[in-house]
Amino acid sequence: MARPEKATAVAELVEDFKSADATVVTEYRGLTVTAIKELRRSLGSETKYKVAKNTLIKIAAKEAGVDVDDSLLAGPTAIAFVKGDSVTAAKSLKNFQKENPLLVIKGGIFEGKKVTTAEIMKLADLESREVLLAKLAGAMKASMAKAARAFDALRIKREAEAGAPAVAEAPVEAAPVAEAAAPSAEENA
């Protein structure tokens, strides 16, 4: 690779490191080009999967202010730069690895912290962000409804202890006599 090409590659990697929410370092030794294309498709549009030389990755990570262990950069390396939902990307990598055991997930960086392969696998076992938010909203709604029922029961109990009726009925007024005695228009005809 000529020097200008290397500078361009490093600049692209620096931008990818800076814009990514998470990165996953993999070894792709033995995977075919077709398999790598399939992996890129499975990762979706929010994740870039790039094959790069280890020295260029080291330089780019340093320029981006990202600390990547040298132990992760041994052998043929490709990095998944994840924007958005890291759980979905981790699931895609895990599922692809099940079908293609030649893909080795080495580790990565999640929210600025180094993560191991085991931690990435745990992340892959989580439900998606949307499902977790829906469950949280459901739990909060149920808790609020339970609290409302408890407050209502407390109000009814206090009213019963005070001797006041829980629900007071309004008195029914009798119809005026004048309206009942007045003849209708049909009776006059």
Q: Is 14 helix (H, G, I), strand (E, B) or coil?
A: helix
Q: How far apart are CA 110 and CA 114, in angstroms?
A: 6
- Residue 32's closest CA among 89, 91, 100? 100
Q: How far apart are CA 177 and CA 46, in angstroms?
A: 79
Query: pLDDT by residue (tens digit) across 128-157?
Result: 777 778 888 888 888 888 888 888 888 898
- Residue 37 CA: distances (Å) to CA of 43, 141, 185: 10, 43, 89
Q: Which pLDDT value is given to residue 31?
A: 92
Q: Is 20 helix (H, G, I), strand (E, B) or coil?
A: coil
Q: Is domain 3-126 classified as CATH 3.30.70.1730?
A: yes
Tokens of 185: 């228009």
Tokens of 83: 């924007």
- Residue 13 CA: distances (Å) to CA of 54, 112, 170: 11, 16, 76
Domain ranges of the chain: 3-126, 128-161
DSSP character string of 99-138:
H-TT-EEEEEEETTEEEEHHHHHHHHHSPPHHHHHHHHHH
- Residues (pLDDT < 50) of the chain are none
Give the strands of the sheet with 104-110, arranged side by side: 47-52, 77-82, 22-27, 104-110, 113-116
